[in-house]
Amino acid sequence: MTYDECIVWLNRYRDARRVEPRLRERLREENRRADYARALRPPGGAGEIDSALLSINTRREKLAAQLTDGEAARVEIESAIAQLEDALEREVLQMRYIDGRTNRQIAARMRITERYARKLHRRAIFKIIKLVPPSSAPVC
């Protein structure tokens, strides 16, 4: 994994967190649709309603899979950051990728210079590259 690929991989955390509410809302909407279709379904079954239910269930499964993938990415990234031995490097990556802060905000919060925050970030990224096996860090 290259430096840039690692940055993209770490940004998956924020991306997953950002889309999660929309996915959950869409899943709730599909659940409501399924409940409504089931309520309309006659006791013997109806072809149109059964095909609609099948379509709704397919969309629900896709949404659930996307939610699961996002949660798995977040857990994987959190555990990779937690493996860093240096507390400052770990804190910089947590603030950057989990909290979504800028280098300036990180520096102010940690009471260090912005240049040192960038240096810690870069050093931590190279350590993450060594810690995470390429097979478990697919780049999306």
Instruction: Give this prediction's pTM.
Output: 0.76
Q: What is the pLDDT of residue 138?
A: 53
The answer to whether 60 and 31 are in contact (CB under 8 A) is yes
Mean pLDDT of 28-49: 82
Q: What percent of the chain has pLDDT over 90?
A: 75
Nearest one of 56, 88, 79 to 128, comparing CA atoms: 79
Q: Would the pLDDT of 12 be above 70?
A: yes
- Residues 6 or more apart whose Cβ sits within 8 Å of residue 16: 69, 70, 71, 73, 74
CA distance 115 to 106: 11
Residue 3 burial (CB count, 10 A): 11
56 is written with which tokens? 């709704």
What is the pLDDT, as a whole number, of residue 48? 78
Please compute Rg for the chain using Cα positions: 21
pLDDT tens digits, 80-118:
999 999 999 999 999 999 999 999 999 999 999 999 999
Rounded to 10 degrees, the C-alpha dihedral 29/34/35/38 comes to 160
CA distance 76 to 90: 15
